[in-house]
Chains A and B, each alone.
Chain A
Amino acid sequence: MTEGIVTGGWEYVWTAYSLTAAAFLIYGVSLITRLRKERASK
């Protein structure tokens, strides 16, 4: 950071985007898996 201006920071940006993508992907896959299990046990 120089004179109140944030420089660099791409590592934070990539971390935030990767975390968001991973959370949505893992949750979506878990939902589909859980739904199939519930349907099968019906």
Chain B
Amino acid sequence: MRFFYYLDLARRSFARHRVLTALMIVAIALGIGTSMTTLTVLYLLSGDPLPGKSERTFYVQLDAGGKEGFRPGEEPNLQLSRYDAEGLLRARHAPRQALMTGGNGAIDPKRAGVDPFYADVRYTSADFFPMFDVPFARGGPWTAQEDEAHARVAVISKELAEKLFDGGDGVGRSVRLDGHELAIVGVLEYWRPTPHFYDLFTGDYGESEQIFLPFSTSRDLELERSGNIDCWDEAGLTSTAVNAPCAWIQFWVQLESPAEAAAYRDYLVSYSEEQQRNGRFMRPPNVRLRSVMEWLDFRRVVPSDVRLQAWLAFAFLAVCLLNTVGLLLAKFLRRSAEIGVRRALGASRRAIFTQFLVEAGCVGLIGGVLGLGLAWLGLYAVRQQPVDYAPLARLDPTMLATTFVIALVSSLLAGLLPAWRAARIVPALQLKSQ
């Protein structure tokens, strides 16, 4: 096989120019290592948190702001007021809808030897679980009737169940949150959507909450909320009251088709008009209905530092490749005499070209393998960073394959020009100069 002969030639060439070959391999490895590290992080952070469903799941915005500070065409409030969120939930104009907000509270483990601890909580409504495909290990979600009845129920995470019940099943037992007993109706499987898309106001890449309970119940118990709250009027002491002029609730709907989405948007406009007529809304209807990915894009969830790092790494890879082109050129032309002899003995231009491309490809592959090691180290370094997405930074098969493709393609590209120059060497001239 010709190919293996070329491989053997490449091996000999590497052995003869050890330092130069090592230089090229190290340069490619560095370039590949840095760019794969940053690309993996970028890829993980810009992923779809709700695959297969994200284009059918929408985030609702209404403009409930006050008369003051109004500028036509501005973005409406990023969240809904409690009045509007509860109203839209009751109206049930979408097949599925859920209101939600973040919170936290002290959990009393009711077990000797375990101290009370603070946990993140989500106050939401029944459709949250089927709408976001939340996986259950035991039991299931609470019902819409339980939402209306302000039932003292909760769904807890697998981690919390393990902590509270020593690995035992929690369904049917209760959890004590801020001094209130809540009956556990379901225990989740491990669930951590990335980004934390359904509430970007409690950390873009945070972990999901440990306890979920009906929003209605959380208001009865006056549990503590967290996240962002925007008040446009004097809120007084109770910014979480039904009629408070404050936006602090996220509202998601699932709509099956573009027609359904258009109909829901119309409904939001007519709802706004009705509120304006009632004197509640001071501004003309201004609604938004963004799908999951549109919403993430609009909120610029992927940190700009991460995107900047990816650009930096690819600029670095470009310089490394340019460097490789130069070194390969030097290396190949240094062997002009050898090429001249081979050509004189009957090797075609194509054969010379292929031979040198194989050599360049080998440099790329070895550099790629080393680069993969560097990327693995780089991702390890990212995991040590104080960012909420740190634990996610790991190589997956897609990125592994991408690494090799990038390494091979880029080294072949780098080898193209030098190999072409080598193939153009005129045999007679080389033989004469000897």
On whether the two chains bind one another, the answer is no
Which residues in A have some Cβ–Cβ distance to B below 8 Å? none
Which residues in B have some Cβ–Cβ distance to A below 8 Å? none
